[in-house]
Structure 1
């Protein structure tokens, strides 16, 4: 008996989140079904299966992690053949029997802000100034569901990078509360639009302060990677290539749909 960790990528668009739900298509449901069909897991309760993070509906991933006990090292592409095109196992590693999947060294999230949703150019300098205030150890009560037992979190870095028609917001830390990253981005966007003063951001860490923060849409959030000290995944280039092809097809279909809807809008505006 050994313990194995798998690095998982998925496009969250057509999933009802990560966690299993009755009669709904979820990442975990598809994964466990494939693992059982491949004979990698025969008894879920005895496998000590665990995950790094339960991403919400619509959230994507390039490096979520699951681990479990099994008889031998699984063949990655045998499992991938049983998975749908919008998810793939990209890497694997044998870990110690006491490996704790949830206790990662750090997590990296990336939020993709589309420039077209902003009427005026964002004030990036002020956004980055506010982002620096979010770094370090703070009480993120106002950035959470507000029933978390411990809202104290340490954020290692928050960086904003303009790139053509988008802004990339990279947030790295050990762990995050539910909706925390999307609410952080919402505040940063408010600063960039001039709706929130940079100096006010520090007040958001006061649990007595009661701001209303609407989290940004989940469809633009990617769990980029989950890191563990001393753990190096063996990447599978073939699996990566297959997932890349699937994403390219999705992108092409989306571009076609954008072209069609833009033409329909143009015609309606001419009437």
Structure 2
């Protein structure tokens, strides 16, 4: 018997989130079925199956993590053969039997905003530094959170071509926390919020309401553990790159069609 951790990538567009649910298609449903089809697990409880975290409907990942015990040798592409192209196992690592994927050293989320050219990046950077550190993030999640204290190690705002990128790194996050951080930074950069307003969101006071940015712009880039080194599979990475390329071309075509239709209505 051995215990293995797998790094999972997926395009979240067509899934009802990560967590398994009856009667709807989720990433986890597909993963569990693939592990069973590959004869790696039989009973979830007996295998000690566990996950690093749940992502919402529409959210994507390059580095979510699952773990389980199995008597079999784990071959990444035998699992991938049982999965749709939009989900890939990218890497694996042998881990101790006490390993729990939920307790990561750090998580890296990236939020992507396309097509907005006139944002004040300097102001966004200033606002991001206010949100770094250890704070009460009650206003960035549900008010009913038992422990709203979290530590953000780094927030980085950058731009590549016409794409704004917000990287957020920390040990753990509240539900919707990253998307609400992205929303506050976007409002600051769009001059719809002052730096003083950003400061007021930290702490438990007030009844602040922050609308999270849409889930489709969020990517779980990586989940990192102390003393765990994942070995990536080159073939699996190439296959997922191909799937991403096909999705990009498809969405680009749809966007172009919609633009032409909008232009036609405006004539």
Query: SS at 2:18's partner residue?
Result: coil
Question: What number of residue pairs does the alignment pair up?
Answer: 267
Which residue does the alignment assign to 1:20?
20
Equivalent of 2:152 in 142, 155, 163: 155
Query: SS at 1:149's partner residue?
Result: coil
TM-score, structure 1 length as denominator? 0.97
Residue deviations 1:125-183 (CA, integer Å, cap 9, x gap): 11110100111100000001221110000000000001111110000000000000000
Partners of 1:73 and 1:94 within 8 A in 2: no
Once residues 170 and 49 of structure 1 are traced to their aligned partners in structure 2, the CA distance between those partners, rounded to angstroms, is 29
Which residue does the alignment assign to 1:249?
246
1:92 equivalenced with 2:92 (yes/no): yes
Once residues 203 and 64 of structure 2 are traced to their aligned partners in structure 1, the CA distance between those partners, rounded to angstroms, is 31
Once residues 156 and 36 of structure 1 are traced to their aligned partners in structure 2, the CA distance between those partners, rounded to angstroms, is 38
Which residue does the alignment assign to 1:83?
83
Once residues 203 and 259 of structure 2 are traced to their aligned partners in structure 1, the CA distance between those partners, rounded to angstroms, is 44
Query: SS at 1:184's partner residue?
Result: helix
Once residues 159 and 41 of structure 1 are traced to their aligned partners in structure 2, the CA distance between those partners, rounded to angstroms, is 40
Once residues 97 and 212 of structure 1 are traced to their aligned partners in structure 2, the CA distance between those partners, rounded to angstroms, is 42
Equivalent of 1:167 in 164, 168, 192: 164
How does 1:23-102 map onto structure 2 within 5 Å? 23-102=23-102
How does 1:188-203 map onto structure 2 within 5 Å? 188-203=185-200
1:205 deviation in Å?
1.2
Equivalent of 1:184 in 156, 181, 185: 181
1:72 deviation in Å?
2.6
1:103 deviation in Å?
0.4
1:265 deviation in Å?
1.4
Q: Provide the aligned C-alpha RMSD in A.
A: 0.9
Once residues 54 and 107 of structure 1 are traced to their aligned partners in structure 2, the CA distance between those partners, rounded to angstroms, is 13
Once residues 196 and 73 of structure 1 are traced to their aligned partners in structure 2, the CA distance between those partners, rounded to angstroms, is 54
**Unaligned 5+ runs, structure 1:** none
Give runs of ≥4 in structure 1 deviating > 3 Å.
none
Query: SS at 1:131's partner residue?
Result: helix
